[in-house]
A and B are shown apart, each in its own frame.
Chain A
Amino acid sequence: MLNIKDLRASAGGVEILKGINLAVRPGEVHAIMGPNGSGKSTLAQVLAGHPAYEVTGGSVTYLEQDLLDMEPEERAQAGVFLAFQYPVEIPGVSNAYFLRAAYNEIRKARGMEEVDSMDFIDLLEEKLKLVEWESEIMSRAVNAGFSGGEKKRNEILQLAVLEPKLAILDETDSGLDIDALRIVAAGVNKLRSQDRSFIVVTHYQRLLNYIVPDHVHVLSSGRIVRSGGKELALELEARGYEWVEAAEAMA
């Protein structure tokens, strides 16, 4: 599904990603952990096509296409979704209007008919249940004045509506209370399927108790320094990042 080879990227002339290699097969869940500032969000944003980052080397193939050659909207239309670490506020645009616009743009790009607001409301009601939310939230402006937890839950709602093939969750668990974490994780689990893959960026083993990953990677200073199964997350929790970084330095 996704094949990242020796990916290098920089911002403002400073190299942040220094050769990332990662292969994600359909249906897999990959967790990415690593210290603050190691480049996790940069990797996520580069995959989504954020213009602030310059790709200086390597390649990313997504479903046989050159992902790096696609506009951000083309990536979304092709099924890539990024749940932002810091979701953006859009004053003046209602959550419902925004989500329907996105939904219809993706349908249009796939040669499908657009849905009218009535049909969309039905679909929305369904998806709201998945994140255990009331429909009032849909008439508010996108993320404007939302609490940190509400913003994260809104990302998962968008994920549920847009039904991507590759979902990248950048610290969606940060800022969630225990109930919200359970709801969000349950929502993600319901969306897991044989042909939908997840990359889950997190600092906490706790999330991985709910969303059990197939692979865990540790990102440090722009490189993946260790990969393993779900037990790697437990080991990290117990021993900290210094342990892998030290091991890396010795290797």
Chain B
Amino acid sequence: MSETLLQETDARAGAAIAEGPDWLEAVRRAAAERFAQTGFPGSRDEEWRFTPIGPIAQGVWRAAPTASAGVTREQLAPFTFGHPEWNTLVFVNGLYSEALSTASALPAGVVVSSLAEALRSDGALLERHLTRHAPAEGSPFTAVNTASFREGGVVHVPANVDLDQPVHLLFVSTAAAGGSVTHPRNLIVVERGARASVIESYVTLAPGQSYWSNPVTEVSAGAGSWLEHTRIQRESEAAYHVGLTHVDQQRDSHYRSFSMAMGAALARHNLHVRLNDENVETLMYGLYLTRGEQVADNHTAIFHDHPNCRSWEVYKGVLDDRSRAVFNGKVFVTPEAQKTDAKQTNRNLLLSDSAKVNTKPQLEIFADDVKCTHGATVGRLDSAALFYARSRGVPAAAAERLLTYAFAAEVIDEVALPPVREELDRLVLERLETGV
């Protein structure tokens, strides 16, 4: 039960704190204490009502194995977008593997490194940002992560630097991960006027393994910065994945997120974006493809604290078999945040009669001069379009695939970076055509 986890947490936090600076040690101890008090969310916790976390809370999770278990670069090829030359930090069962990672040339001052390395060489940066954006009080899962993290990726793009290539943080689980938990902790800092694209992938080499990933990613987008952040979750379909992305945006910044969820028995992703100044633009796109008994849960929250900001959100889901999706989209607009333009859309396509969706927009608007809209739909394939395609010679099954793909492609089209867009496209087509 949660006590078992806590003992594990204590043990590992102790070990890591021995390596970490004092300020971090204090934060981690506080997080461990906090989790000791709260435990996992209960069934009455509104935030977790539709998320069956029982198997996580009741599981006994061991620390992930430390050896990288003979993983080869060839095995990682399917996950590198056809661009093995991109800067890639590879983590095997939560631990950084320098041998599998790729470090290509970067503009002066850019940091792409493992968290452990960054703690040694970029102490001041980490003290300013690490754990500062996503506080442990936010959720018990964040508290456990904060108390327990050992590794993760750090990306720092200094002011006015344009990263012309994406940086990829690739988390791979292997058969050795069975029954274990990892708590990756990532930090992305894009300073004033800088431009970057970061991809975060959670993938598996052992499709049947059950394990638990509990990542937290903190993002700081400086004034006038531009950041595309793509998150691809393709865990084992027997695994549990609970992740948080917290973003802080400054004046005139543009942040666009794409969150793709295909894997895990239970996948929960929280995306929180706080707009800390005026004239910020935030685009949040999501796509979940579920089948079998999978549960995909997306909770997003956008905090419009300042005037003249725009947020645009589209999450789409394709659900087959007896799978289930949860969408909760919160939009908070403070009284100061006049001229806010916020639009939220959640659209779901059911491919089977037994699939289910719980979708809930949650708008709390305290300013009067705003444009805020939301819409949610749950539907089936358009039978008129199906017949139209069939009447042109396209067989029924292919017509269904075509329309399903079209539904998903509409949101994938919003990804700015062509190779990322093409890869997401390929993933969807592969799932539809071969069931992979």
Chain A interface: which of B168-176, B183-191, B267-275, B392-400? B392-400
Indicate the size class of the contact surface on chain A.
20 to 34
Q: Shortest Cβ distance from B181 into chain A, in angstroms?
A: 39
Interchain CB contact under 8 A, A88 and B393: no
Q: What are the residues of chain B within 8 A of A75 when measuring CB–CB? A: 391
Partner of B393, one of A89, A93, A105, A141: A105
Instruction: Give complex CA distance A93, B386 in Å.
Output: 12
| B312 proximal to A (CB < 8 A) | no
Instruction: Give complex CA distance A172, B356 in Å.
Output: 41
Within 8 A of A (CB), among B366-383: 382-383
Instruction: Give complex CA distance A90, B382 in Å.
Output: 9
Interchain CB contact under 8 A, A92 and B391: no
Interface of B is mostly: helix
Chain A interface: which of B65-73, B77-85, B405-413? B405-413
Q: What are the residues of chain A within 8 A of B396 when measuring CB–CB? A: 71, 73
| B403 proximal to A (CB < 8 A) | yes
Instruction: Give complex CA distance A89, B387 in Å.
Output: 12
Q: What are the residues of chain A within 8 A of B402 when measuring CB–CB? A: 93, 98, 101
| B159 proximal to A (CB < 8 A) | no
Partner of A102, one of B384, B394, B407: B394
Instruction: Give complex CA distance A141, B382 in Å.
Output: 15
Interchain CB contact under 8 A, B395 and A105: yes
Q: What are the residues of chain A within 8 A of B403 when measuring CB–CB? A: 90, 93
Interchain CB contact under 8 A, B398 and A101: yes
Instruction: Give complex CA distance A180, B316 in Å.
Output: 39
Q: What are the residues of chain A within 8 A of B129 when measuring CB–CB? A: none
Q: Shortest Cβ distance from A12 into chain B, in angstroms?
A: 15
Interchain CB contact under 8 A, B388 and A87: yes
Interface hub of A75, A87, A90, A91 (most chain B Cβ within 10 A): A90
| A82 proximal to B (CB < 8 A) | yes
Interchain CB contact under 8 A, B385 and A73: no
Q: Shortest Cβ distance from B345 into chain A, in angstroms?
A: 14
Q: Shortest Cβ distance from A120 into chain B, in angstroms?
A: 14
| A31 proximal to B (CB < 8 A) | no
Identity of the chain A residue whose Cβ is nearest the Cβ of B412 in the assembled complex: A92
Interchain CB contact under 8 A, A106 and B406: no
Interchain CB contact under 8 A, A73 and B393: yes
Chain A 55-92 interface 0/1 with B at a Cβ cutoff of 8 Å (1 = within)? 00000000000000001110111000110100111111
Indicate the size class of the contact surface on chain B.
20 to 34
| B110 proximal to A (CB < 8 A) | no
Q: Which residues of A contact B (CB under 8 A)?
A: 48-51, 71-73, 75-77, 81-82, 84, 87-93, 98-99, 101-103, 105-106, 109, 141, 158, 162
| B27 proximal to A (CB < 8 A) | no
List 10 additional contacts besides A48-B391, A76-B392, A88-B387; criterion CB under 8 Å.
Answer: A71-B396, A84-B391, A89-B385, A90-B388, A92-B409, A92-B410, A93-B406, A98-B389, A101-B394, A109-B393
| B133 proximal to A (CB < 8 A) | no
Q: Shortest Cβ distance from A204 into chain B, in angstroms?
A: 24
Q: Shortest Cβ distance from B391 into chain A, in angstroms?
A: 5
| B421 proximal to A (CB < 8 A) | no
Q: What are the residues of chain B within 8 A of A73 when measuring CB–CB? A: 390-391, 393-396, 399
Interchain CB contact under 8 A, B406 and A90: yes
Q: Shortest Cβ distance from A14 into chain B, in angstroms?
A: 20
Within 8 A of A (CB), among B336-385: 382-385
Q: What are the residues of chain B within 8 A of A71 when measuring CB–CB? A: 390, 395-396
Identity of the chain A residue whose Cβ is nearest the Cβ of B411 in the assembled complex: A92
Partner of A105, one of B388, B394, B407: B394
Interchain CB contact under 8 A, B407 and A92: yes
Interchain CB contact under 8 A, B394 and A88: no
Interface hub of A71, A72, A101 (most chain B Cβ within 10 A): A72
Instruction: Give complex CA distance A51, B387 in Å.
Output: 8
Q: What are the residues of chain B within 8 A of A87 when measuring CB–CB? A: 388
Interchain CB contact under 8 A, A72 and B390: yes
Given A90-B385, A93-B403, A105-B398, residue A76 in contact with residue B393 (CB < 8 A): yes
Q: What are the residues of chain B within 8 A of A49 when measuring CB–CB? A: 390-391
Interchain CB contact under 8 A, A162 and B390: no
Instruction: Give complex CA distance A77, B390 in Å.
Output: 10
Identity of the chain A residue whose Cβ is nearest the Cβ of B399 in the assembled complex: A73
Q: Shortest Cβ distance from A99 into chain B, in angstroms?
A: 8
Q: What are the residues of chain A within 8 A of B390 when measuring CB–CB? A: 49, 71-73, 76
Interface hub of B383, B393, B398, B406 (most chain A Cβ within 10 A): B393
